[in-house]
Amino acid sequence: MISTSARSRRALAFAAAGLTALALAGCATESAAEGDGGQAAACAPEDIQLIGQVRNETNPYEKAWLDGGDEFAESVGLTQTRLTYDGESPKQQEQLRQALSTGNPECMVLNVLPNGDSDTTPIVKEADAAGAYLVTHWNKPADLDPWDGYDTWISHITFNGVDSGRQIAEAMFEAMGGEGGIIALQGILDTSAAKDRFIGLEDALAENPGVTLLDEQAADFDRTTAFNVTKTLITKHGDAITGVWAANDDMALGALQALEAAGMSGVAVVGIDAVPEAVQAIADGKMTATVSSDGPWQGGIGLAMGYCALTGELAVSDLSDEERAFFAKQTLIDASNAEANLTPSVNLEDFECGNLFNRVDGPVS
């Protein structure tokens, strides 16, 4: 069953005018054949445009995301357009507007990391109005959901930040022997990821009275900012710091550099994202733990969802609420499994139309 999106509404108007052939033709060389999803393909595969957008490629996790998108695109004979907006919300939205005004948006797939929760609403509305398929990751307002009238917003994918924040905290506390003082580096505060991960830390602290939170500062998920913030906190707290909790690996690595510059060793440092440099630091005994959210998989899965919808192999209207907004599975990486996770890789079977939701690990409530 085809959803009543901007694409299908136009098709119905054509049909009412007796132009059924044009409705089936759709965008460019649209196929009338049905895909495995039981609906007519909206676009010929060669006419599909794939776009991935993240903040920047200096963050290894976000670069790995776009690399995963490239691997999926190549597997279906297409090329991904890589967009970066440098953490600037106006720039992100302008990039997407330009993309939607170029080519045929009804044969377009957007796989997007919104800069903050408040950025998701305008992104979703513009993509839906243009008839472009969209998958968002990490950030959205709690009261905004794909099934609330957004027929081309396929899914919102995130990870249980409370769980990951707690997991790395517990690994750090264990390395500290259950006592000591820690500093916390928060991410961009207008993001669900930053908020939830810090809640996970707070939950872990409540269960470990021997550990004291000495200080917490926002470092915007950025390595250089984290380096400078950590230097300041080292000056303030000195040797009382026995652990550094960071809301992502880039900040953890910045903190590690600051600790090394100050001649401080034996401090437990944890992060999130499992970027190769952080995993190597864990294998080398310099960092304690991270959590993998599998950036390459994220970069490919959103494009794959849109591709399958456009080729008729996925009917968005048939998806459950849990499939349209879900937590994906994540993995704690510590000294026991760091060597096995040094190189991010893509399993193209994950992107087959029948496997798109194999990593669902619960609904986003």
Q: pLDDT per residue over 4-53, tens digit each?
A: 344 443 333 333 333 333 333 333 333 334 555 556 788 999 999 999 99
Q: Contact at 8 Å (CB) between 225 and 253?
A: no
Q: How confident is the model at residue 351 (pLDDT cuts 50, 70, 90)?
A: very high
CATH code for residues 45-158+295-328+344-363:
3.40.50.2300
Residues 6+ apart with CB under 8 A from 215: 183, 184, 233, 236, 237
Q: What is the pLDDT of residues 254-269, one digit of tens each?
A: 999 999 999 999 999 9
Identity of the residue numbered 7 = R
Do 141 and 61 meet the contact criterion of CB atoms below 8 Å apart? no
Domain positions in the chain are 45-158+295-328+344-363, 161-292
Model confidence pLDDT, tens digit, residues 353-363: 999 999 999 99
Q: How far apart are CA 31 and CA 66, in angstroms?
A: 29
When pLDDT is averaged across residues 183-194 and rounded to a whole number, the result is 92
- Tell me yes or no: is domain 161-292 CATH 3.40.50.740: no
- DSSP assignment of 251-279 equals HHHHHHHHHHHTT--S-EEE-SS--HHHH
- For the stretch 83-118, pLDDT in tens is 999 999 999 999 999 999 988 999 999 999 999 999
Residue 201 predicted with pLDDT over 60: yes
Mean of pLDDT over the chain: 90
Asked whether residue 154 carries a pLDDT value surpassing 50, the answer given is: yes
Strands (E) across the chain are located at 49-54, 80-84, 108-112, 133-137, 153-158, 180-186, 211-218, 241-246, 268-270, 290-292, 325-328, 331-333, 360-363
Residue 50: what pLDDT? 98
Is residue 65 scored above 60 in pLDDT? yes
This prediction has a pTM of 0.80
Residue 244: which of 263, 261, 227, 222 has the closest Cα?
A: 227
CATH topology identical between 45-158+295-328+344-363 and 161-292: yes
Percent of the chain with pLDDT strictly greater than 70: 89
CB atoms within 10 A of CB 365: 6
- Residues making up the chain, counted from first to last: 365
Mean pLDDT over 164-168 rounds to: 97
